[in-house]
């Protein structure tokens, strides 16, 4: 069995879904780091006017923004990768897969 062509849109949708999950995980990690670092900054604050709400805002915002950005990036890069695969497979013949039944 040889894969000679892949559906660009189907690959793009799968990549977008995978990258959205990765973005959610990255956003959660960024949010946790932001909240902890804000706590340390507040503890070490030496009378300067630092907006204490800024750190948690970035942290909570990351949970929303990262999945959206990663999802769009996955959609675009997945479509690009599938299109490049189709061009390369047309030239060199595709990927051979051996299936046992």
Q: How many angstroms separate the CA atoms of 44 and 18, rounded?
A: 39
Q: According to the model, what pLDDT value does residue 24 have? A: 92
Q: How many angstroms separate the CA atoms of 101 and 99, rounded?
A: 6
First to last CA, the chain: 13
- Rounded mean pLDDT, 60-73: 89
Tens-digit pLDDT profile for residues 19-64: 999 999 998 888 888 777 766 666 556 556 666 666 667 777 888 8
- 94 dihedral zone (left: phi>0; alpha: psi -120 to 50; beta): left
What percent of the chain clears pLDDT 70, i.e. is strictly above it?
Answer: 81
Closest CA to 58 of 79, 85, 27, 17: 27
């Amino acid at each position: 069995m040889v894969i000679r062509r892949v559906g660009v849109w189907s690959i793009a949708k799968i990549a977008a879904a995978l990258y959205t999950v990765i973005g959610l995980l990255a956003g959660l990690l960024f949010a946790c780091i932001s909240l902890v670092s804000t706590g340390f900054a507040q503890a070490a604050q030496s009378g300067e006017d630092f907006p204490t709400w800024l750190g948690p805002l970035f942290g909570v915002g990351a949970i929303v923004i990262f999945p959206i950005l990663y999802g769009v990036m996955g959609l675009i890069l997945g479509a690009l990768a599938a299109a490049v695969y189709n061009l390369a497979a047309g030239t060199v013949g595709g990927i051979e897969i051996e299936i046992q039944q």
